[in-house]
Amino acid sequence: MTEFVDGWNIVGVLGEGAFGDVKLLECPDQGSFVAMKCVDMGRHPGAAADVRKEIAVHRLLDHRNVLKYIGHRTVGPVDYIFLEYAPNGELFDRIEPDIGMAVPMARRLFGELLCGLEYLHGRGIAHRDIKPENLLLGVGDTLKISDFGLATVFRHHGRERLLDRACGTLPYAAPEVLSGGPYRGDHADLWSAGIVLVAMLTGELPWDKADVETSPEFAAWTGLDTGRLPPLLCRLEPDALCLVRAMLCAKPEARLKLQAVLSSRWMRVKDLSVLNVAVGTDCDDLDGDDMKDRIKRPRRLTCSQPVADVALLQSPVRALLPCSTQPNSNLLLDSQQCLATQQSSAPLHLILRRMTRFVVPCDVDETLSLLERVAAAQGMIAHRLSMTNVANASNTVPMPPSATVVGRDRRNARLELRVTVLAQENEADQTELRGKQDEDEDVEKENRSRSSNTKARCLLDFRLSRGDGLEFKRTFLRLKEGFAKLAAPIRSAVAWPS
């Protein structure tokens, strides 16, 4: 680990963005974690205005379905933005390509997304880049809207303005945004949310771009009066299809409004498996019209550590921020409730749970060589990175062996994966040796003699560095299948296998 400031260590890199990395900070004394977004203005001078705007917008927000802003500081040319850490990863990690996810889970997460958007729009803020990559999962898998780099104010003191900047991510952008004409920010966000819903229910995106000239799928969608329906959307159940059709109406003024989405038939279904129903409550008493209230009601969560007193938590967080930007007590307490839930001083791969991992019975060098072969078979290139350090701005983070896998997805867009290789000796041998320690005084000598004969194994941890989340999942599955053919047996692992 590398110390960032007194009391806070850089555990590792959570991800990469257009203008810098996102790192994980740990306060070992409190067992607390904070995500730190690093932007080097020396390398990206054009990002200064966007970063200032992002901070100005994000610092105003405080909602359970919006990732919390903690503060920021500037050191030389580098801006650091401190954010709530969401330990359960991104939404796309839960979406199986070509399948989606269980309907009850999709309904709950979509409801939380709507509640977050309702809060943003109520504050007059449009996000403008809603997609699974920007929807994080916090403690208890609570959905958190993140990344306010494209967010803007569309309503102030009751006066609303039309937006004209074409921005966002192509498959999720509304047709009026892509056309370059004036558009309403809240209507555009609801369109993007509708695309996210399709992705959650089907594991696919309905079209590459909402443009009748370039997308046959979108042209078929807008021509529903002819009886044509894109095959993907035929897989939706009737109530879900009805909701999607109303949300993805090409005419913004006819598009379903947020309150109507929340009260739609599909949203009113009672999924008891995901609701926090008190013991002894008659389920029939849960009115479907109260869907929004049930989503907003905090679910019972079990944390590995008790929530500390706010006065005790202010001290470590103050070390991150300059004196003029101290967080308020309520924000700090809410943030730390989500942060102080992990074991202190754990390696990054134990702290962060991710579905895109597996274990192979190979040593590090053999694993990296296999990665190069498997990537090449998929038309991709694997570049080994330094085994010592990966530098960013003024901080250097010790890193395990890793590689970058680069290629093109099905839309011919650039796709970049970061693969970290973590080695561990054979689990069975280590368990056997630990059992001998109480009865064999020469166990230390035996450990040394047998370690050379222990079969190595490595965990490969894949994360999206650049590109589309669903395409990343598809690529991961193909790479995993390639490894299975060359290095069977392999084991899936959300966390390091115990």
Residue set of the binding site for ATP: 37
Which residues lie below 8 Å from residue 274, measured CB to CB, with a gap of 6+? 104, 105, 107, 108
The residue written with tokens 């070390």 in the block is 319
Q: With the C-alpha atoms ordered 269, 272, 276, 278, is the resulting torsion angle positive or negative?
A: positive
Contact assessment for residue 221 and residue 211, using Cβ atoms and an 8 Å cutoff: no
- Scanning 13-71, the segments in alpha helix (DSSP H) are 48-58
Q: Show the beta-strand stretches assigned E in 196-322.
A: none
Under DSSP, is residue 80 helix (H, G, I), strand (E, B) or coil? strand
Residues in binding site: 37
309 catalytic, yes or no?
A: no
The residue written with tokens 């933005």 in the block is 81
Contact assessment for residue 120 and residue 381, using Cβ atoms and an 8 Å cutoff: no
What 8-state DSSP symbol labels residue 90? Answer: B
Which amino acid type is present at position 213?
E
Distance CA 450, CA 439 (A): 17
Catalytic-labelled residue, pool 129, 141, 186, 468: 129
Contact assessment for residue 364 and residue 458, using Cβ atoms and an 8 Å cutoff: yes
Residue 328 CA: distances (Å) to CA of 305, 308, 492: 22, 16, 42
Contact assessment for residue 497 and residue 427, using Cβ atoms and an 8 Å cutoff: yes
The residue written with tokens 């962060």 in the block is 352
Distance CA 268, CA 278 (A): 19
Inter-axis angle of helices 443-451 and 427-436, to 10 degrees?
A: 160
Catalytic residues: 129
